[in-house]
Amino acid sequence: MLTSARAPIAQVRCALAPRSATRGSTTRARAGKTFEFAKYQGLGNDFVLIDNRASDAVPVTAEQAAKMCDRNFGIGADGLIFAMPARPGTDEDYSMRMFNSDGSEPEMCGNGIRCLARFVSDVDGSAPRKYKVWTLAGLIQPELRADGQVAVDMGKPVLEPANVPTKLAATKDSAAVRCEMDIDGEKWLVTAVSMGNPHCVTFGRAGDGELGADGPGLKVEDFALSTYGPKFESHVNFPARTNTEFTEVVNRGYVKMHVWERGAGATLACGTGACATVVAGVLEGRVDRECVVELPGGPLEIHWREADGNVIMTGPAEPVFTGVITV
């Protein structure tokens, strides 16, 4: 059972009936598996966390994952995260598996891995420390600090277009940088970056004052995110779909970014997206390697380290409530 020494948090208990049973049917199907969960958030990007370190198998289907995340019929979250056992024969601490709110499984989640580090520390009652976590994007190392912030070594960005994956052609140093992409007849300029998961970063359209470095650029507060987001997400240039970061450069050390996430839509923050934004901004010559990314949910500090090429992301992770759910 999760016990947090830091702050008491509310507890709920609920059973999720199948959709058909919640919509007018008088017979409720018998519920199946019961899980203790904790809800955490990192800058408002919220997750259901389940301690599954005793078993190798992910215990839910994609449909059950989506149902748990549903804000009307479930707990409500941008994603579902399982703490899983470490791979045998490694010095790793544990593994992470994550599901988007639509039930799809991404390779990585930056805000999620900060929440996972805090969750495991809360469950185990362990002191702040650094963890080695295996993900579908490889080894990621979050360090929970005494001040509650989590600094994550996110590894190196992947820029080779085929590995993002994107069909956009490389334009600079084997990366797809500032490429034209057609969205309903408009020319957007985008840079493709993988942080284990795919990202399409844009600073605006060609010809409408884009080009944060040399023009006014996008104004993210006025931006029609839910109109454009889905068009980028399922664009033919991104065969595995993509997360998209719409970015306004304020100065070389500070940008504002609104994100449309693959499999989750508009969220208040995206950790991998903030990392991809700074990598794209550096490749386009717009920002410095140390840059604050201001998201609707708050700021993330990003450092694309010159020494080893790794990206370090620092931000918060907070418990919201715990509960028990049957799906």
Ligand X SMILES: N[C@@H](CCC[C@H](N)C(=O)O)C(=O)O
Active site residue 115: no
Nearer to ligand X by Cβ, of 197 and 314: the residue is 197
Q: Which two tokens stand for residue 172?
A: 């600079």
Contact between 245 and ligand X (CB under 6 A)? Answer: no
| 3-state SS assignment for residue 224 | coil
Closest approach of ligand X to the CB of residue 97, in Å: 12
Smallest gap, in angstroms, from Cβ of residue 45 to ligand X? 5
Binding mask 273-302 for ligand X (x = CB under 6 A): x-----------------------------
Stretch that binds ligand X, among 2-10, 69-77, 103-111, 246-254 (CB under 6 A): 103-111
Shortest distance (Å) from residue 112 CB to ligand X: 6
Check if 109 is active-site. Answer: yes
Q: Does residue 263 touch ligand X according to CB under 6 A?
A: yes
Q: Output the CA–CA distances (angstroms, integers) from residue 302 to 81, 131, 253, 260, in the order listed.
A: 23, 19, 10, 19
Q: Which is nearer to ligand X, 181 or 257 (CB)?
A: 257
Coil, strand or helix: which one is 114?
helix
**Structural contact between residues 45 and 78, judged by C-beta atoms closer than 8 angstroms:** yes
Pairing of β 186-194 and β 311-315:
unpaired
**Binding residue (CB under 6 A) for ligand X from 65, 109, 302, 327:** 109
Residues 191-220 that bind ligand X (CB under 6 A): 197
User: 12-20: long-range contacts at Cβ-Cβ below 8 A with a sequence spacing of 24 or more?
Assistant: 12/321, 12/322, 12/323, 12/324, 13/323, 13/324, 13/325, 14/75, 14/323, 14/324, 14/325, 14/326, 15/325, 15/326, 16/67, 16/68, 16/73, 16/74, 16/325, 16/326, 16/327, 19/67, 19/73
Say which of 109, 200, 275, 291 is annotated catalytic: 109
Site map 41..80 versus ligand X, x via CB under 6 A: ----x---------------------------------x-
Q: Which is nearer to ligand X, 84 or 211 (CB)?
A: 84
- The least CB distance from residue 13 to ligand X, in Å, is 27
Closest CA to 276 of 250, 295, 263: 295
Residue from 74, 103, 106, 155 that binds ligand X (CB under 6 A)? 106
Instruction: Name the amino acid, one letter, at 288.
Output: D
Helix segments in 84-149, DSSP class H: 110-124
Burial group, residue 298, by CB count within 10 angstroms (0-12, 13-18, 19+): middle
Count the neighbouring beta carbons within 10 Å of the beta carbon of residue 255: 27
Binder of ligand X out of 144, 270, 287, 302 (CB under 6 A): 270
**Which spans in the chain are helix H?**
19-22, 62-69, 110-124, 225-233, 271-283
Catalytic residue among 179, 270, 275, 291: 270
SS3 19: helix
315 touches ligand X by CB under 6 A? no
Q: How far is the CB of 186 from ligand X (least distance, A)?
A: 24
Find the part of the chain contacting ligand X (CB under 6 A) among 22-30, 31-39, 109-117, 302-310.
Answer: 109-117
Is the Cβ of residue 116 or residue 175 nearer to ligand X in the bound state? Answer: 116
> What residues line the site for ligand X (CB under 6 A)?
45, 79, 100, 106, 109-112, 197, 243, 261-264, 267, 270-273
Catalytic residue list: 109, 270
